[in-house]
Each structure stands twice: as structure tokens, then as C-alpha cells.
Amino acid sequence: MQVTLKGQPLDLEGIQPVVGKKAENFSLVDLNDSLVELTELLNKPLIVSVVPDIDTSVCAIQTKRFNQEAASITEINFVTVSNNTKEQQSNWCAAEGVEMTMLRDEDVEFGKNYGLFIPEINHLARAIFVIDQNGVIAYEEIVPEIAQEPDYQKAIDAAKALI
């Protein structure tokens, strides 16, 4: 699969998840250096927001938007994944006054398992997954143009439908 960055085509490494199939398990580290596994998050519907680089404007907008939504919908779990460093993620959260579950994929294992790693730029593609309590993907969006925002409402509606 390909996405673009300001019109330039980029290849994604791996096979992308499909709606209706079981989500690939993951183990990622949060800002407290605690290991977080997918299975621990499945007590509620889960929105996984994947951003290429937390220090860019569209990624910041996406993360803030979902953080606001997550605060208002307590029946849904929400995480953001990027392959930024702990320091970059921590600094962003501190600067924005945001407290949320921010997971880092520094070895890009998640990115490769979910078919989102872009070797040419060493970042993940912009994507959203909604996963039900059984670990099945209920919604996915891999944004075709990295510089554009995802469809927030479709993801939120898909998660709310699982409540």
C-alpha cells in the first residue's frame, strides 16, 4: 500500500489490518515506562490513534482532538501511538497540558505489524483503528495523504456503536 506526503508517494511496510479480523497484539511502552498490551485495553472499545510525528501540526491537532473526545466518553479507551522518543512525547504533553496514554513504538515493531511503517521517512503512517472488546477491528482508516487529518467522527461513531 502507498500513502503520500504532500503528494510524494511513500510505501508502507507490512500488511495492513482489515475490518472484521483480529487485531495484532502489541506491547508498547507508555510515558511512565510501563508496558501496555492490547489485551489490557480491551475492557472497553478502544480507539488507537497513530501519528507520524507528535511534533508536527497535524499530529498535534489529531492527538488533542482525540484527547478531548476521550475525556468526554468514559466508556471508550483511547491511546495514541507514535515512534517519537519518550522525551519528545513527554515534552509535547507538558507543553500542551495534556494527560493521556501516549505509547511509543521506537523499534517500529507495532508499525511493521500493522503495516504502517514508512522506511523512507522512518515514521508511521497516520491511521486510526477502533477495536472491540474481543480484539476485532471494527473500523480502520489509513489516511491516504499524511499531511491531512483523519475522519474523527467516523472513528468516534464506530467506537460508540460498540458501547
For 4, the grid coordinates are 503520500
Catalytic, 93? Answer no
Indicate if the alpha-carbon torsion angle 153, 15, 53, 78 is positive or negative. Answer: positive
Q: Measured between alpha carbons, how far apart are the two ends of the chain, in Å?
A: 32
Which one of 47, 50, 54, 59 is the catalytic residue?
59
Are the beta carbons of 138 and 47 closer than 8 angstroms? Answer: no
SS3 132: coil
For 132, the grid coordinates are 472491540
Give the list of residues 6+ apart from residue 36 with CB closer than 8 angstroms, or none. 27, 28, 29, 30, 79, 101, 103
- Give the CA radius of gyration of the chain: 14
Active site residues: 59
